[in-house]
C-alpha cells in the first residue's frame, strides 16, 4: 500500500487500493502516526469503508486512527440518501454515543483542592457506580425507560436531577428528537433499566483535572475556564443498552444486506440503504441509545456534584459545577454539508471521531456561537487531556470532525507486562495523582504508555485545520471502572 | 489437542480461536475463551441457565452464542462454572451454563459484544470445527 502525501498532515489512499472503492481514503496524520496506521492495517480498513454504497467525498480517518472492527477507530464516512447511501451500525460502534463531558468549577487547585484530593477521589469512587454490570444511580421501570429513550436528559431533569444549563450545553441540547424507543429491543431495555448513572469499565473513567495551560484566552474565557482551575472530565457511553442495540441491528443488516444486493469486504460493515425500513429503525433505535448515553452522563454528573458538595461543604451551584460541553464520539447523524458544490443532507458516521462544528453553526449553544463547538479530548490516565474548538475549515475537510483521544499503541497484555496495576497506581501517586480503581490489577491495561501521545494527535488536528487547541488539562485524581 | 482455545490479542483488539472435534465442542471452548477474557471462570455448583441462539449461518450462530453468554454474565453479574452446548444446528443451538454470582469485580477485560469482524467458523467433514471471533472490548 502506497499512501500519497497531499499536504504535511494529509494522506490519500487512492481508489483501487482495495477492490470496489468508490472514493479515495483520506488520513490526517503525521509521518509517525501514519506509519503506525499502515503497520496495524487500520489504513486498509479506511479503504474498505470507501466501498460502502453512496459514500461521498472520501473515507476519512482522524490522527488517532487505529485498527477497529470493520470500521477503523477514528473513521468518518458520509453517505448520501439520494444515491442509495447506506447506514452501517458498525460505523457507529457498540458503545453508541459514547462521549466525553467536561464540568468546570470555581475551585483553584493549589488554594482549594490540593489538600483534599484523596478524600475527593474516594468520595467520587463511592458515589459514582462503576465496573462490569453495575447498578446505576437511577433504576427505572420499563415504562420510564421508554420515556427516557425518547427524552434524553429531559427525563432526569423532570425528576429534579441536574439543571437546564446541563441540557443547553449538551450536544443536541441533550435530546435527539428522532429517537424511536419502539425499535429498541426488550433485551436492550432490560440491560439499560438498571444501568442509568453508571460509568462502566474498560477505558471509561472520571478524572479530576487542573487546567495547566490556556492557549486561547478568549475561547477559554467564553467557556468559563482559567489556569489553575479544577475541572472534572467524564468518559462513558450507553452501557449495555447501546451494545445490545448495535448487536441487534448488525445481525439484522447482515441478514438483509444480500437481498439489497450489497456486498462488503468485512461482515462487520453490514449496512442497508438509508431508505430501507430496517435502516430507518436502526437510526431511531440509535438515537434512543444516544439519548440514554447523554442521560447516563447527566446522571453521573449528579454524583460528581454530590461528591464535591460533601467534600467542600458548599452547594454545587455555589461551586459553579457547570457543564462546559458534552459531545459523543460514536454516532451517525444526518447533517447538511457541501458536497460537489451543493448542500446535501448526508449521514455522517463518526466512529471514534468527534463532531467539531466551527463558529456560527446554528446547532451550537448561543454562548459558543462565536468560538466554535468545544471538543474534549481525554488523554489516557495520568497524561494530559485537551479542550479544542471546531473550525470553519473542518466543514470542507472532514465533515466537521476531529479526533477523539489518543488511540492504543500497546495491547493490554503488553501493557500489564511493563508494569503491574498496583505499581502503576504507586507511580501515579508519586506524581501527585490520587487513584481509585475497582480492578487495581487491571489498571495497567489503561496505562499512559499503552496509548499514543495525545499531544501529537491534537497538534496534527490543529495542523490539518480540523480543530484548534484552547487549553490543556492535567489529571490530579483518577476514578476508573 | 482435541479441543482447546487460544486468546488472540493485538494492539486494540481481543479475539479468540477455539476448536474441537465437533461444532458443539468448539462452541464450548469458545465460551470458555470468552469467560477467561472476562475473568469470569469459576467453580460450581451454580445456577443452571438455558442458553439458546438463532442465526442464519454457523458463523453468525457463534456470535449469537457468545452474545448470550455476555448477557448472562452482565445481567446476573455472574461467572461461569460450566458451559455445555448440547446441539449446534444449521440455524440454532441449545445449551446451558452454570453460573455463580461474582464476588467483587472480575479481574478480566470488560467485553461489549462479539463482532462479525474477520469472523470464521469452519467444520471439516469429520466434524472438527474451528471458530474465530473478535470481540469489542
A361 catalytic? Reply is no
pLDDT at A406: 83
- Check pLDDT > 80 for residue B12: no
The mean of the pLDDT values for chain B is: 94
Average pLDDT, integer, range B93-102: 97
Radius of gyration, CA atoms only, chain A: 21
Name the residue facing A191 among B75, B102, B116 (closest C-beta): B75
Residue A142: which H helix or E strand, with range?
A: helix A142-151
- Check pLDDT > 90 for residue A416: no
Nearest chain B residue to A270 by CA distance is: B116
Rounded Cα–Cα distance for residues A94 and A192 (Å): 14
In percent, the amount of chain B with pLDDT more than 70 equals: 99
- Could you tell me the pLDDT band of residue A379, with boundaries at 50, 70 and 90? confident
pLDDT at A177: 94
B35-69 confidence digits (pLDDT tens): 999 999 999 899 999 999 999 999 999 999 999 99
Chain B residues whose C-beta is within 8 A of a chain A C-beta are 9-14, 38, 55-56, 59-60, 63-64, 67, 71, 73-77, 102, 105-110, 112-119, 134, 136-137
Asked if A251's CB is within 8 angstroms of B12's CB, the reply is no
Residues in A touching B109 (Cβ below 8 Å): 202, 412, 442, 445
Asked if B12's CB is within 8 angstroms of A67's CB, the reply is yes
Q: Which long-range contacts (CB under 8 A, 24 or more apart) does A1-5 make?
A: A1/A38, A1/A43, A1/A44, A1/A47, A3/A27, A3/A34, A3/A38, A3/A43
Rounded Cα–Cα distance for residues B85 and A116 (Å): 53
- Check pLDDT > 80 for residue A316: yes
Residue with cell 432526569: A156
Dihedral sign for Cα atoms in the order B96, B99, B105, B108: negative
Give the closest-approach CA distance of A184 to chain B in angstroms: 16
Listed residue (A315, A466, A475) closest to A391, CA to CA: A466
Q: Decide: helix, strand or coil at residue A243.
A: helix
Average pLDDT, integer, range A238-243: 96
Residues in B touching A191 (Cβ below 8 Å): 71, 74-75
Residue A214 CA, chain-centre distance (Å), reads 23
Average pLDDT, integer, range A290-315: 98
Average pLDDT, integer, range A389-417: 92
Interface mutation target, options B36, B51, B116, B134, chain A, most CBs of A under 10 Å = B116
Q: Tally A–B CB contacts below 8 A.
A: 115
Calculate the CA dihedral of residues A206, A208, A210, A215 and round it to 10 degrees: 20
pLDDT at A291: 98
A251-264 confidence digits (pLDDT tens): 999 999 999 999 99
Residues 70-99 (A) with a CB less than 8 A from some CB of B: 70, 73, 90, 93-95
Rounded Cα–Cα distance for residues A219 and A380 (Å): 24
Average pLDDT, integer, range B104-130: 92
Give the closest-approach CA distance of B107 to chain A in angstroms: 6
pLDDT at A394: 96
Dihedral sign for Cα atoms in the order A391, A392, A397, A399: positive
Q: Which residues contact B10 (CB under 8 A, 6 or more apart)?
A: A40, A67, A411
- Say which range, A39-43, A82-86, A377-381, A426-430, has the weakest mean pLDDT: A377-381
- Could you tell me the pLDDT band of residue A1, with boundaries at 50, 70 and 90? confident
pLDDT at A22: 98
Give the closest-approach CA distance of B10 to chain A in angstroms: 6
pLDDT at A130: 85
User: Phi and psi for A336 in degrees, rounded to 5?
Assistant: -90, 125
Name the residue facing A132 among B10, B67, B106 (closest C-beta): B106
- Could you tell me the pLDDT band of residue A321, with boundaries at 50, 70 and 90? very high
- Check pLDDT > 90 for residue A13: yes
The ipTM (two decimal places) reads 0.94
Average pLDDT, integer, range A259-279: 96
User: Phi and psi for A445 in degrees, rounded to 5?
Assistant: -60, -30
Q: Are the beta carbons of A33 and A51 closer than 8 angstroms?
A: no
Q: Decide: helix, strand or coil at residue A237.
A: coil
pLDDT at A133: 63
- Check pLDDT > 90 for residue B10: no
pLDDT at A178: 95
Amino acid at each position: 500500500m502506497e499512501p500519497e502525501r497531499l499536504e504535511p498532515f494529509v494522506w490519500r489512499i487512492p481508489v483501487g487500493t482495495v477492490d470496489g472503492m468508490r472514493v479515495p481514503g483520506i488520513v490526517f496524520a503525521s509521518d509517525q502516526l501514519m506509519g503506525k496506521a499502515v503497520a496495524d492495517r487500520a489504513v486498509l480498513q479506511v479503504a474498505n469503508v470507501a466501498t460502502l454504497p453512496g459514500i461521498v467525498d472520501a473515507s476519512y480517518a482522524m490522527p488517532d486512527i487505529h485498527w477497529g472492527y470493520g470500521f477503523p477507530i477514528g473513521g468518518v464516512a458520509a453517505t448520501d440518501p439520494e444515491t442509495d447511501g447506506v447506514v452501517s451500525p458498525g460505523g457507529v460502534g457498540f458503545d453508541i454515543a459514547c462521549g466525553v463531558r467536561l464540568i468546570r468549577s470555581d475551585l483553584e487547585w493549589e488554594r482549594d483542592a490540593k489538600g483534599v484530593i484523596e478524600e475527593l477521589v474516594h468520595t467520587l469512587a463511592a458515589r459514582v457506580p462503576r465496573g462490569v454490570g453495575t447498578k446505576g444511580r437511577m433504576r427505572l421501570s420499563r415504562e420510564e425507560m421508554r420515556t427516557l429513550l425518547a427524552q434524553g436528559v429531559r427525563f432526569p431533569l423532570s425528576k429534579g436531577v441536574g439543571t437546564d444549563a446541563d441540557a443547553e450545553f449538551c450536544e443536541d441540547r441533550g435530546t435527539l428528537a428522532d429517537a424511536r424507543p419502539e425499535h429498541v429491543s426488550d433485551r436492550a431495555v432490560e440491560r439499560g433499566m438498571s444501568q442509568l448513572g453508571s460509568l462502566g469499565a474498560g477505558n471509561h473513567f472520571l478524572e479530576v483535572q487542573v487546567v495547566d495551560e490556556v492557549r486561547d484566552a478568549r475561547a477559554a474565557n467564553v467557556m468559563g475556564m482559567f489556569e489553575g482551575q479544577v475541572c472534572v472530565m467524564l468518559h462513558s457511553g450507553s452501557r449495555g443498552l447501546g451494545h445490545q442495540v448495535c448487536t441487534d441491528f448488525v445481525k439484522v443488516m447482515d441478514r438483509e444486506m444480500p437481498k439489497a444486493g450489497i456486498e462488503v469486504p468485512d461482515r462487520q460493515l453490514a449496512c442497508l440503504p438509508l431508505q430501507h425500513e430496517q435502516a430507518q429503525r436502526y437510526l431511531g433505535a440509535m438515537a434512543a441509545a444516544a439519548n440514554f448515553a447523554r442521560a447516563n452522563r447527566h446522571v453521573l454528573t449528579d454524583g460528581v456534584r454530590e461528591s464535591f458538595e460533601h467534600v467542600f461543604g458548599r452547594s454545587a451551584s455555589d461551586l459553579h459545577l457547570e457543564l462546559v460541553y458534552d459531545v459523543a464520539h460514536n454516532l451517525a447523524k444526518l447533517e447538511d454539508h457541501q458536497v460537489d458544490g451543493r448542500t446535501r443532507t448526508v449521514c455522517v458516521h463518526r466512529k471514534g471521531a468527534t463532531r467539531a462544528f466551527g463558529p456560527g453553526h446554528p446547532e451550537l449553544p448561543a454562548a459558543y456561537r462565536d468560538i466554535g463547538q468545544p471538543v474534549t479530548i481525554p488523554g489516557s490516565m495520568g497524561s494530559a487531556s485537551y479542550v479544542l474548538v471546531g473550525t470553519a475549515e473542518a466543514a470542507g475537510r472532514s465533515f466537521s470532525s476531529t479526533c477523539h483521544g489518543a488511540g492504543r499503541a500497546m495491547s493490554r497484555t503488553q501493557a500489564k507486562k511493563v508494569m503491574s496495576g498496583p505499581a502503576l497506581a504507586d507511580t501515579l501517586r508519586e506524581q501527585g495523582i490520587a487513584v481509585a480503581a475497582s480492578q487495581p490489577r487491571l489498571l495497567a491495561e489503561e496505562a499512559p504508555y499503552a496509548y499514543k501521545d495525545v499531544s501529537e494527535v491534537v497538534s496534527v488536528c490543529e495542523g490539518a485545520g480540523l480543530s484548534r487547541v484552547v487549553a490543556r488539562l492535567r489529571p490530579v485524581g483518577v476514578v476508573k471502572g | 489437542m482435541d479441543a482447546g482455545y487460544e486468546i488472540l490479542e493485538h494492539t486494540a483488539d481481543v479475539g479468540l480461536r477455539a476448536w474441537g472435534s465437533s461444532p458443539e465442542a468448539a462452541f464450548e471452548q469458545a465460551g470458555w475463551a470468552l469467560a477467561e477474557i472476562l475473568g469470569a471462570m469459576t467453580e460450581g455448583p451454580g445456577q443452571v441457565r438455558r442458553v439458546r441462539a438463532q442465526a442464519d449461518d454457523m458463523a453468525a450462530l457463534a456470535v449469537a452464542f457468545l452474545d448470550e453468554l455476555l448477557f448472562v454474565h452482565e445481567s446476573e453479574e455472574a461467572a461461569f462454572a460450566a458451559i455445555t452446548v448440547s446441539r449446534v444446528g444449521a440455524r440454532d443451538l441449545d445449551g446451558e451454563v452454570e453460573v455463580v454470582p461474582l464476588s467483587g469485580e472480575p479481574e478480566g477485560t470488560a467485553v461489549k459484544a462479539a463482532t462479525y469482524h474477520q469472523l470464521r467458523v469452519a467444520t471439516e467433514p469429520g466434524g472438527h470445527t474451528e471458530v474465530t471471533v473478535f470481540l469489542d472490548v
